């Protein structure tokens, strides 16, 4: 995952999953005298892009006042 900051208020993140399409699955079943084996490949490639920005409210002070 890569990210960089925009003027300390915003950021962009890039997420890539299985870019080379190498993830595959297989299933084997054995029941009495029936044997089955299956190899299959689903398209698991994913690309995500996220942008976030933090809005500023100025300088505010929070606290309690004593009377």
Residue 36 resides in a domain: yes
- Taking only the tens place, the pLDDT of each residue in 36-58 is 999 988 888 999 999 888 877 65
Domain that holds residue 13: 2-18+26-53
In a domain? residue 43:
yes
Asked if the structure places residue 67 within a domain, the reply is: no
Nearest to 47 by CA among 17, 9, 10: 17
User: Which structure tokens are listed for 59?
Assistant: 């300088």
Is 9 a domain residue? Answer: yes
Q: What pTM was computed for the model? A: 0.49
pLDDT band for 7, please (50, 70, 90 cuts). low
First to last CA, the chain: 52
Asked if residue 63 belongs to a domain, the reply is: no
| 37 is a domain residue | yes
Digit-coded pLDDT (tens) for 15-33: 999 888 888 889 999 999 9
Question: Total structural domains in the chain?
Answer: 1
């Amino acid at each position: 995952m890569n990210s960089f900051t925009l003027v300390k208020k915003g950021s962009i993140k890039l997420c890539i999953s299985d870019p080379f399409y190498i993830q595959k699955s297989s299933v084997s079943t054995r029941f009495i005298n029936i044997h089955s084996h299956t190899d299959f490949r689903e398209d698991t490639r994913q690309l995500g892009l996220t942008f976030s920005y933090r809005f500023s409210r100025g300088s505010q002070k929070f606290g309690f006042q004593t009377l």
